[in-house]
């Protein structure tokens, strides 16, 4: 019973490039969450999605960031025109229902040069 999977585990981008982070939820989970953890800071909620729907994106920066969870395939967090301040660990979590325990993937460490 595979857990939440994220790839890549490490991603290096130069300023101005695009970063695509992928997350496959646990089997049987249809709710996906993205969090960002900046160096020396706590986890910050970014976005909550169900299949084909964004439920809550109140934590997403207004520009350059987008997320999707298509009917087929993993959830994608996309960061366009990355800047150094985007360097962080991005964690994905999934749950069976919106109120249930969230289980985390291993994260993607993004480094922007």
Partner 1 sequence: RKEVEQDPGPFNVPEGATVAFNCTYSNSASQSFFWYRQDCRKEPKLLMSVYSSGNEDGRFTAQLNRASQYISLLIRDSKLSDSATYLCVVNLGAGKSTFGDGTTLTVKP
**Which residues form the interface with partner 1 (CB under 8 A)?**
31, 33, 35, 37, 41-45, 48, 55-56, 89, 91, 95, 98-99, 101-107
Cβ proximity to partner 1: between 14 and 85 the closer is: 85
Cβ proximity to partner 1: between 17 and 104 the closer is: 104
Residue 55 Cβ vs partner 1, minimum distance, rounded to whole Å: 6
Chain length of the chain = 113
Contact status, residue 8 vs residue 89, Cβ threshold 8 Å: no
Residue 109 Cβ vs partner 1, minimum distance, rounded to whole Å: 9
Residue 106 Cβ vs partner 1, minimum distance, rounded to whole Å: 5
Residue 67 Cβ vs partner 1, minimum distance, rounded to whole Å: 13
Distance CA 104, CA 106 (A): 7
DSSP 45-75: EEEEEETTEEEE-TTS-SSSEEEE--SSS-E
Cβ proximity to partner 1: between 78 and 103 the closer is: 103
Cβ proximity to partner 1: between 14 and 58 the closer is: 58
Residue 45, C-beta contacts closer than 8 angstroms, at least 6 positions apart: 33, 34, 35, 58, 59
């Amino acid at each position: 019973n595979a857990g939440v999977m994220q790839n890549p585990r490490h991603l290096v981008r130069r300023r101005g490039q695009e970063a695509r982070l992928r997350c496959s939820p646990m089997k049987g989970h249809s709710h996906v969450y993205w969090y960002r953890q900046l160096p020396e800071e706590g986890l910050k909620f970014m976005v909550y999605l169900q299949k084909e729907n964004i439920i809550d994106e109140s934590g997403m920066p207004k520009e350059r960031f987008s997320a999707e969870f298509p009917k087929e395939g993993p959830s994608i967090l996309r960061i366009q025109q990355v800047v150094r301040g985007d360097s962080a660990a991005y964690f994905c979590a999934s749950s069976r229902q919106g109120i249930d325990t969230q289980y985390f993937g291993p994260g993607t460490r993004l480094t922007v040069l």
